[in-house]
Chains A and B, each alone.
Chain A
């Protein structure tokens, strides 16, 4: 639905790219996140942070895009962290058995401190 416009913005930090996702992550928008992540030039041992603070809904296509982020980081031998996972999405991760598959942190700073 259009009540929460989707966006996925990338900024570059000293430790690697931070992708900030907002709005509904679904069939219609997930390909945009996948493309955004596919376009990243991830170097070895960098950390890819996906910030989900503003995500209001995430369906199976959205979860595919997040799995793709993990795969892309693994292929580049980079690290990956999901930060500020909304409660409902965290519950979905639990339901589909991915609670410990995604490294999750409260904030980008925490992820950076833990993983770099």
Chain B
């Protein structure tokens, strides 16, 4: 025997079962109604009448099922529900709103089947109505949560944009006798990038500039970016040369971030002193991709500074420096590897060599023209630009050009 109690139910239990069919129909936890094929209500249970607040004789033989629906629901019933039901013989789980006697609305889920006679002809429609208030509340909660998430995303993007702006100069300083231009291309609207640049007056006739790239992205990188930027600006004022400035930066970063989660940046830092019709530039690099020099005569070269180590990760790094003279028609471009490691439309990664080929033809050119050209390249790569890209260019105008 599997289950003795089940085989011999007590008399009280069978009595419960005896009269349950009618009671179950009337007081079921869902609404029942039967309608004629034109929708006229033939039978309705007490549960549904209670939900609606109608007496039985107000409804039976006097109203059609669609009359219990809201105007929109009635329309949907006539155009979709009823035709589909006729076609399929049954239709389930359709959301409607019932309109109760007092005008309140009750969200429900409706399932109907067509009862056919022995001759196979449709006789009437049986419908169950489930209270969907809980589900509606759930759906509204989901909608609310989605709105909230969208607002939150907007807020994050606004915050990222604002933070990014504080890490970049609002405008570059004017350098007499030179043209300067810069561009920042964020790869993502949600995250603060780790690239930075600036150009600012030092003492008297000298200007300082830098461009760099912090490892990583987001808030953690922004902390390093901000520290790097302000340290560089301050150190550039009193340190004797660009390599000494990078030394200061290394000391500050290495103190702060070392061990199992090292942070570092690569930077080119330089000073420029315009004089006569040219400018003397001193560059120091800490592990950064080399600046590109496009000469007026159509030649070009990378200002390679081998041996310069990245800044912040090592206790005693070496930095390399070089001097270069910019003559009229010469342009120097500083960039981050977001540009040279972008995926081109063929999905292969762009490269320094290709950059050089693409820009050399512009000679003799100017800082704004080079920035415009590279901005165009970046736009062409589209979502192939996976990392932030910063650009800074300095040039000496040719004599007789319309701007200084």
Contact = CB atoms under 8 A, between A and B. Distances in A.
Interface of A: 1, 27, 34, 37-38, 59-61, 63-64, 67-68, 71-72, 75, 94-98, 101
Interface centre among B214, B288, B313 (most CB of A within 10 A): B313
A94 to B, nearest CB: 7
Interface string B279-292: 00000001111000
B261 interface: yes
A75 B288 CA distance: 28
B264 A67 contact: yes
20 contacts: A27-B217, A59-B341, A60-B213, A60-B214, A60-B266, A64-B215, A64-B263, A64-B313, A68-B262, A71-B262, A72-B260, A96-B266, A97-B307, A97-B308, A97-B309, A97-B310, A98-B287, A98-B309, A101-B309, A101-B314
B262 A67 contact: yes
Contacts of A94: 306
Contacts of A64: 215-216, 261-264, 313
B387 interface: yes
A59 B320 CA distance: 22
B317 A97 contact: yes
Interface in B200-237: 213-217
Interface string B327-346: 00000000001000101000
A2 to B, nearest CB: 12
A71 B215 contact: no
A95 to B, nearest CB: 6
Contact of A67 (B288, B313, B320): B313
B319 to A, nearest CB: 8
Nearest to B336: A60
A97 B305 CA distance: 10
A34 B309 contact: no
B258 interface: yes
B211 to A, nearest CB: 15
Contacts of A71: 258-260, 262
Contacts of B387: 59
A62 to B, nearest CB: 9
Given A71-B259, A97-B307, 10 more contacts: A27-B216, A59-B387, A60-B214, A60-B266, A96-B288, A97-B286, A97-B287, A97-B310, A98-B287, A98-B309
A96 B215 contact: no
B318 interface: yes
A69 to B, nearest CB: 9
A97 B318 contact: yes
Contacts of A67: 262, 264, 313
Nearest to B314: A101
A42 B341 CA distance: 35
A67 B263 CA distance: 9
Interface string B239-264: 00000000000000000001111111
Interface of B: 213-217, 258-264, 266, 286-289, 306-310, 313-314, 317-318, 320, 337, 341, 343, 387
Contact of A60 (B215, B318, B343): B215
A95 B310 CA distance: 9
A38 to B, nearest CB: 6
Nearest to A94: B306
A37 B341 CA distance: 27
A61 B215 contact: yes
A59 B387 CA distance: 10
A75 B259 contact: yes
Contact of B287 (A61, A68, A95): A95
Nearest to B341: A59
A96 B320 CA distance: 11
B362 to A, nearest CB: 25
Interface centre among A1, A60, A94 (most CB of B within 10 A): A60
Contacts of B215: 60-61, 63-64
B387 to A, nearest CB: 7
Contacts of B258: 71
A38 B260 contact: yes
B261 A60 contact: no
User: Which 7 pairs show the lowest CB-CB distances between chains A and B?
Assistant: A97-B309, A96-B287, A60-B215, A96-B310, A67-B262, A64-B215, A97-B287
Contacts of B314: 101
B346 to A, nearest CB: 13
B261 A68 contact: yes
Nearest to B338: A59
Contacts of A27: 216-217
A34 B215 CA distance: 14
B303 to A, nearest CB: 13
B327 to A, nearest CB: 27
